[in-house]
Structure 1
Amino acid sequence: MRREVVLQKIKEAGVVAVVRGDSKEEAIKIVDAVSKGGIKIMEMTMTVPNPIDVIKEAVEKYEGTDIIVGAGTVLDSETARACILAGAQFIVSPYLDVETLKLCNRYKVLVMPGVMTVKDAVTAFEYGVDVVKIFPANLYGPSVIKSFKGPLPQGDFMPTGGVTVANLHEWIEAGAVVVGTGGDLTKGAKTGDFELVEKTAKQFVEAFEKAKK
């Protein structure tokens, strides 16, 4: 899938599921539950055991569907390349690493690096980044989006960390184009309650649909 198409689908979806787990099996169950709940964008993190295998399995399982699988917690260009070879359609990093940006641009793969300063955001845009990840967003609150968009009105931002069903509308109203959520979305998995994960995913989707109206 072309980079611009992936970008469009992520913006339309509005919610990126950050998938972590104590095993490959748990991670895949989380993806299954989240997708049943209506979230279509999966960020498979490198903190899951055997993460490349998890990406491959998720990509193969959902091939031909509207589920988009990407990779998160990518710390360097070598890992980004391995994820892309495994089928990841986008790359997310917790910080700005120029070599990772170059690698993703080389292969025309969407990359969303984490930033904490306007300087980092500007650097990201100079390297062709379409959406910048504000991380950890819970250190700032929704007002940080307006602060970034003051000098950078052309920027698109994705807050990750601390985004909940209850406050999602605040992030969208502040100017975020998409949100990333992990712990609040998948907390049910910790006790094996994947029905709760599915239910929470539905709530996130409904919250986004309501917020963007």
Structure 2
Amino acid sequence: MFRWQVSSTIAEHGVVGIIRAADAEQARQRAESCLNAGLGVLEVSLTTPDALEVLRGLRDAHQHALLGAGTVLDAASARLAVDAGARFLVSPSLHEEVISTGHRYGAAVLPGVETPSELVRALEAGADAIKLFPASRWTPESMRDVLGALPQAPLVPTGGISVDRAPDWIAAGAVAVGMGSALSEGGQAEAAERISGLLRHIRQARD
């Protein structure tokens, strides 16, 4: 899969599920819950113990899912994540070596930014999409204002986004939203209903 295809898939789905857990088994369970509920794009945070092994297992078991790695802070982590099956890399901040390393090995890269100045730097560095983080410091309305000046910026707000508010971010111009435990809480049936409803509302927000 080419980088442009990765970016297009993220935008098509509208949601990046973020898996962050205290141990590998919990991470696997949360990932399986999201994937089985119909969420096709997942990011496994490297803060999770044995995150790379979790990625490898998910890659082998769910070959049609788009998998990425989160909290990628340096070139070495970027290369290891790609080797483990990550097709995209996400950072909480802007690290140009992560972008260049990810691109060298064919992965799309979503660096994190907080300000318009950082956003422009990320675009100049070749970011495939840009993680607006933490989104809790923004609103859909303030993000829309930034997009008025920088309409070419493919933004993925992440951090503190609720299921109820996610469609508002999409309606305001975000290409997708990043969401964590809010997606996978509860049992399998509850997660499936929540994710199905979220994806439906995001499609409606784009109409």
C-alpha contact (below 8 Å) 1:30/1:197 kept by paired residues? no
Percent identity between the two aligned chains: 35
The Cα offsets for residues 108-159 of structure 1, whole Å up to 9 and x where unpaired, read as 3100011001111111111111211100101112123213212211111000
Show the 5 A alignment for 1:28-67: 28-63=28-63, 65=64, 67=65
Q: Amino acid of the residue matched to residue 98 of structure 1?
A: E
C-alpha contact (below 8 Å) 2:37/2:188 kept by paired residues? no
- Determine the C-alpha separation between the residues in 1 that align with 2:192 and 2:78: 29
- Structure 1 residue runs of 5 or longer lacking an equivalent are none
C-alpha contact (below 8 Å) 1:31/1:42 kept by paired residues? yes
TM-score, L = length of structure 1: 0.92
The Cα offsets for residues 65-114 of structure 1, whole Å up to 9 and x where unpaired, read as 2x111101112121111100111000000000111111112223100011
- Confirm whether residue 200 of structure 1 aligns to residue 200 of structure 2: no
In structure 2, the partner of 1:77 is: 75
C-alpha contact (below 8 Å) 1:27/1:54 kept by paired residues? yes
The CA RMSD over aligned residues, in Å, is 1.3
Q: 1:206 Cα deviation (Å)?
A: 1.7
C-alpha contact (below 8 Å) 1:38/1:205 kept by paired residues? no
The Cα offsets for residues 23-77 of structure 1, whole Å up to 9 and x where unpaired, read as 22221121221112211000011121111111111111112x2x11110111212
Show the 5 A alignment for 1:5-154: 5-63=5-63, 65=64, 67-154=65-152
In structure 1, the partner of 2:184 is: 186
Q: 1:183 Cα deviation (Å)?
A: 2.5
- Structure 2 residue runs of 5 or longer lacking an equivalent are none
Q: Amino acid of the residue matched to residue 49 of structure 1?
A: P
C-alpha contact (below 8 Å) 2:183/2:194 kept by paired residues? yes
Runs of 4+ in 1 over 6 A off after TM superposition: none
- Determine the C-alpha separation between the residues in 2 that align with 1:101 and 1:148: 23
- Determine the C-alpha separation between the residues in 1 that align with 2:206 and 2:32: 26
Structure 1 residues 105, 51: CA separation in 2 closer, same or farther (over 3 Å shift)?
same
- Determine the C-alpha separation between the residues in 1 that align with 2:112 and 2:150: 16
TM-score, L = length of structure 2: 0.95
Q: Amino acid of the residue matched to residue 31 of structure 1?
A: A
C-alpha contact (below 8 Å) 1:142/1:174 kept by paired residues? yes
